[in-house]
A and B are shown apart, each in its own frame.
Chain A
Amino acid sequence: DSGVTQTPKHLITATGQRVTLRCSPRSGDLSVYWYQQSLDQGLQFLIQYYNGEERAKGNILERFSAQQFPDLHSELNLSSLELGDSALYFCASSVSGRTEAVEQFFGPGTRLTVL
């Protein structure tokens, strides 16, 4: 158990819909990172927040957005869903605000299926 929690574990929805994925980082960690893992693309970095502020952006689509709240939990919002958005979405956390070369602790992921 990494100490990072993600809800829900599974999500099934239809094309065009909007969903929200939630992540609670490990106690004391200020950074939250979001990743998408699909069979064809592998694990892709989406976005990082540090202490409520956006720190780094990766291959995140404009239909996707995220935020980190004062209690440090984070939400990833996915809208106008397409079949290709079906994937595992992971949240990771770390103490550091650095984007790289730090130990990131990954949550168990949310499996999103878009029908």
Chain B
Amino acid sequence: TQLLEQSPQFLSIQEGENLTVYCNSSSVFSSLQWYRQEPGEGPVLLVTVVTGGEVKKLKRLTFQFGDARKDSSLHITAAQTGDTGLYLCAGVGNQGGKLIFGQGTELSVKP
């Protein structure tokens, strides 16, 4: 069974700080997606990375896919209170192509 492990599970920081969230697996994924979920709402897709070593930037968010396509990271620069939420990584595995989600990282950015 393919698993995605996210770390840390919880992160509480001050506005303006930088942070990195990790998504790791012992298995290879053909692509990885990052979602953000706010309380009472469904996840919203932020980015999809498909090539090993790929780096994508979305304003203050930088996403990286590991060379071996087993891990990914999300780096947020100068966090804002609006970044607060649950960040989920999801990988396309070898089990019929279904999306496999990590447990999520609960981010709290305090003013």
Contact = CB atoms under 8 A, between A and B. Distances in A.
Contacts, number: 60
Q: Which of A2, A57, A104, A107 has the most CB of B within 10 A?
A: A104
**A contact residues, range:** 20 to 34
B88 to A, nearest CB: 6
B103 A42 contact: yes
Interface residues of B, number: 23
Given A56-B97, A100-B92, A101-B92, A43 B33 contact: no
B7 interface: no
Interface of A: 2, 4, 42-45, 56-58, 90, 92, 98-101, 103-109
B45 interface: yes
A101 B50 contact: yes
